[in-house]
A and B are shown apart, each in its own frame.
Chain A
Amino acid sequence: MKPRLGLSLLRLFTVQGSYNYERMLGVGMGVAEEPLLRDLRDGPESPTYRAAVARAAHFFNAHPYLCGLAVGAAARAEHEGVPPQRIERLRAALCGPLGSLGDRLVWAGWLPLLSALTLAAVGLGAGWWVVFAFLLVYNAGHVALRWWALKAGWAYGTRVAAALHHPVLARAAAVVGPASAVACGFALPLVAGFLGDSFTGWVRVAVAVGAAVGFLALRLRPDIVSGHRLGLVFVALALIAASVVRP
């Protein structure tokens, strides 16, 4: 049997396309898993296939880049004739670990690492081309992770938990966090300097004071102050000040 992993991978890129608060990524998961179920015994349109497709579209939520692991594992389990209840339990059990691993590895690791390096490069005077370098490097990791996840899910099936203990994943998770922290720390003063260069004299001091006040507000009252709200309040105050104090 030759699984349609390529088609499934392509569909996985749209896994969040029908994101909703009822099944979360469920429908997208079903769409991505369906090509892997066409070779089920009795063939497509059989009750076995229909039941597997319906199960694949049930509630699911995890990091989008790692959804392939659940898609591959569940499809493999369907092929091996694992009882439906066990497949449902497998999918439910994977939500938490895949979400947590993806968040640590990508949202709090790979993405801020490369974003911060790009910001630092811009701060050091690199041109706009550095943004395309960011896209290239980021997506090399992104696509590789998606492909690995799908292949590993298909290879391991119900033993998919073993794939999550892959040494490369453990090593990456251990390295990417500190690397991201260093890069973010390094980028921050450079970005502040770059933005500060747009202003002169007292305006520059006002930016520094405003940033310090805003930072304190965000740290002390995260329940009511967000970066976006802070931005809206600051620009509203600036607009009011500009309309009151006319030169």
Chain B
Amino acid sequence: MELSLLAWGTLVGLDLVSVPQMMIARPLVAATVAGLLAGDPVMGVMLGLLFELFQYDILPFGAVRYPEYGPASVAAVSAAALMQGAPGLGLGALIGLVTSLVGGLSMHALRRINGRVVHRATLRLETGDPRVLVRLHSAALARDALRAALVTAFGLLLAALGRNVLALVLPLSGATALAAAAAAAALAAGASGILRTVGVGPNLRWFALGLVGGAAVVWLT
């Protein structure tokens, strides 16, 4: 199972920026598929939803730096799979948040490395040799694949530690507190990120309309 999660996390990490940006890096997708691979799609959807809310806080405009929630969601599911309810959610959230921090740092480092490599190749690039161009590009893609694999491996290692150490020493109430803390932060991040995207223009009225509709559905069901 760990190997398939490692492979999936690598693909997810590549998808975010490099190729093909088809949104398998979106936490809801990454975690749900990870849940299917780990035999616990329900926990996968739960954690996917949690990290999807955190993802709303990120707008990938320009060269902005941000945490990477894709491989982190895969690691979170690995930590939480087959644990029921809130304790699984809490442990998964903890592992995922730490892994996403490492993922974000690694992306920034990779861009700096790519920048140095491209800078060194400036003269060769200016000759217009397509082989130089393709070699540089392919090497950068390979570096990102390696980066994604390493971040996922780190997350999976952390998940194994969490399952085998933290889950044993943390009382049920503690794991529930972790889950509650993560859920509160995710809801705050999601709501704030959505409001930032919506802005204060006419879309705010549409947002309010949707909010009333959603609240009515929750009330009625």
Contacts and interface: CB of A to CB of B under 8 A. Distances in A.
Interface of A: 13-14, 16-24, 26-28, 30-31, 34, 44, 49-55, 57, 61, 64-65, 99, 103, 107-108, 111-112, 115-116, 118-120, 122, 124, 127-128, 131, 134-135, 138-139, 142, 177-196, 198-199, 203, 206-215, 217-219, 226-228, 230-235, 237-239, 241-243, 245-247
Interface string B49-66: 110111011111111001
Contact of A203 (B112, B125, B180, B207): B180
A128 B45 contact: yes
B89 A219 contact: no
Interface stretch (B3-11, B135-143, B153-161): B135-143
With most chain A CB atoms within 10 A of its CB, the pick from B28, B66, B67 is B28
Nearest to A12: B20
Given A17-B144, A128-B41, A183 B210 contact: yes
List the 10 closest pairs (A to B, CB-CB), nearest first. Answer: A185-B210, A227-B189, A242-B174, A210-B184, A214-B188, A227-B57, A50-B128, A18-B140, A20-B114, A54-B128
B184 A234 contact: yes
A186 B17 contact: no
Interface in B172-200: 173-195, 197-198
B133 A238 contact: no
Contacts of B137: 14, 17-18, 27-28, 31
28 contacts: A14-B141, A18-B136, A20-B112, A21-B63, A22-B118, A31-B134, A53-B129, A107-B60, A122-B28, A128-B42, A128-B45, A134-B28, A134-B29, A135-B24, A139-B22, A180-B203, A186-B213, A188-B190, A192-B218, A206-B184, A210-B188, A212-B188, A215-B192, A218-B192, A227-B193, A228-B101, A231-B54, A239-B94
B29 A135 contact: yes
Contacts of A52: 128
Given A189-B215, A231-B97, 20 more contacts: A13-B19, A22-B118, A31-B134, A31-B137, A107-B59, A124-B221, A181-B204, A190-B214, A193-B218, A194-B49, A198-B179, A208-B184, A211-B183, A214-B189, A217-B188, A227-B58, A227-B185, A235-B182, A238-B182, A242-B177
